[in-house]
């Protein structure tokens, strides 16, 4: 096996801790997990296994390819495909253990015709204008005859205090009892923090499971899960007055010990961290530009040698303060990382 100079340490205890906190916030509602985009970059299969062991039963992916990658799914687990069924999905979907989340009149008709009595979920658009059938279509009977497991909607502004939040909640609530749905669901990570009246029967956190802090209320409860670590390829002394990296954006004020690390923007480490990121919990500032596959850090304050490993600071609230969305920061970390859980 070829040894990779870049790895992602994943904290399984922190993942489960975050799920338990989110579940508690939802009161008696069940708490699921969004594992689309390969578990926000952590590896969906590992995330599902760990959360299922903690008691999580309901999982959400975006596409049938993502659903297929999770097969075989444990007996007691439920998997929903958020993008529903395109015509091209039908052959797979009608025979699949996962359920589609039907999003449009076209999808509803397609499903009813081909799979009638098989269980499905339905997304109602309560104001985001992304995916979903309208509340009027629901009232007019569009969903009659479907075996709906979960009737859901999605908040547009859950991470803000915005009048859309209570409006969307009330629009969903108004559909209670109007369909065959066994459960209703609205809240993502941010929505869970808005209070129990947003939890309905089932919540669907993603970001906060993986260490993102969607609202200030969650800040002291959510633990970091993802820790990128890069190998030191070289250590050098940069003489006072010399510069480091492309475009010479950093200049040494004094002789400086500098480590060159195996991570760059092609790995998903944003270029916005140029002269701004840090490593080893703030001890080593990043100096100069982020290159495609390399960065430089000032290691004057610590001992650091070639072939050592350095933890890149990736606390998501700090990352988003630096101007990189926590969602992007997670999902862009790519396949060059070797993942390991501890």
End-to-end Cα, the chain, rounded Å? 21
Catalytic residue among 36, 40, 210, 269: 36
Which residue, chain included where needed, has tokens 């510069």? 243
**Taking phi first (over 0 means left), then psi (-120 to 50 degrees means alpha), and beta for anything else, what does residue 205 get?**
beta
CB 41 within 8 A of CB 211: no
Does 205 interact with ligand PLP (rule: CB under 6 A)? Answer: yes
Residue 314 among the catalytic residues: no
Does 207 interact with ligand PLP (rule: CB under 6 A)? Answer: yes
Taking the least distance from each CB to ligand PLP, the nearer of 131 and 310 is 131
Does 206 interact with ligand PLP (rule: CB under 6 A)? Answer: yes
Taking the least distance from each CB to ligand PLP, the nearer of 207 and 252 is 207
Does 165 interact with ligand PLP (rule: CB under 6 A)? Answer: no
Residue 239 among the catalytic residues: no
- Strand order of the β-sheet with 33-34 is 30-31, 202-203, 183-185, 147-152, 119-123, 99-102, 78-81, 58-61, 33-34
Over the window 1 to 30, marking each residue x when it contacts ligand PLP by CB under 6 A and - when it does not, the resulting string is: ------------------------------
Residue of minimal Cβ distance to ligand PLP: 206
Binding positions for ligand PLP, 208-247, rule CB under 6 A: 208
Does 194 interact with ligand PLP (rule: CB under 6 A)? Answer: no
Nearest CA to 209 out of 39, 63, 49 is that of 39
Classify burial at 192, counting beta carbons within 10 Å of its beta carbon; exposed 0-12, middle 13-18, buried 19 or more.
buried
219 three-class SS: coil
Binding positions for ligand PLP, 36-55, rule CB under 6 A: 36
Binding positions for ligand PLP, 59-88, rule CB under 6 A: 82
**Interface contacts to ligand PLP, rule CB under 6 A:** 34, 36, 82, 154, 188-190, 204-208
């Amino acid at each position: 096996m070829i040894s990779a100079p870049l790895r992602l340490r994943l904290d399984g205890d922190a993942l489960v801790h975050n799920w338990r906190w989110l579940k508690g916030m939802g009161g008696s509602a069940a708490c699921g997990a969004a594992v689309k985009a390969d578990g926000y970059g952590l590896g969906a299969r590992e995330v599902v296994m760990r959360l299922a062991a903690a008691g999580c039963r309901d999982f959400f992916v975006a596409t049938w390819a993502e659903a297929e990658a999770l097969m075989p799914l444990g007996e007691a687990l439920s998997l929903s495909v958020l993008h529903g069924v395109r015509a091209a999905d039908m052959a797979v979907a009608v025979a699949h253990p996962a359920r589609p989340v039907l999003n449009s009149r076209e999808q509803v008709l397609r499903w009813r015709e081909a799979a009638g009595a098989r269980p499905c979920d339905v997304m109602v658009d309560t104001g985001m204008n992304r995916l979903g059938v309208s509340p009027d279509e629901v009232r007019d009977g569009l969903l009659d005859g479907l075996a709906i497991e979960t009737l859901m909607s999605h908040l547009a502004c859950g991470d803000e205090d915005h009048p859309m939040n209570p409006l969307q909640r009330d629009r969903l609530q108004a559909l209670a009892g109007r369909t065959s749905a066994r459960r209703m669901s609205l809240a993502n990570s941010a929505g869970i923090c808005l209070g129990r009246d947003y939890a309905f029967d089932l919540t669907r956190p993603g970001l906060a499971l993986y260490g993102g802090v969607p609202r200030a209320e969650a800040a002291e409860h959510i633990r970091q899960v993802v820790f990128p670590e890069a190998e030191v390829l070289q250590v050098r002394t940069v003489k006072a007055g010399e510069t480091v990296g492309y475009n010479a954006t950093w200049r040494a004020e004094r002789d400086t010990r500098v480590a060159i690390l195996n991570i760059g923007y092609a790995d998903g480490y944003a270029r916005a961290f140029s002269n701004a990121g840090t490593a080893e919990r703030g001890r080593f500032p990043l100096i100069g530009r982020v290159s495609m596959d390399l960065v430089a850090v000032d290691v004057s304050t610590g001992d650091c040698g070639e072939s050592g490993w350095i933890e890149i600071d990736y606390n998501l609230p700090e990352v988003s303060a630096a101007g990189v969305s926590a969602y992007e920061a997670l999902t862009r970390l790519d396949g060059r990382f070797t993942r390991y859980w501890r």
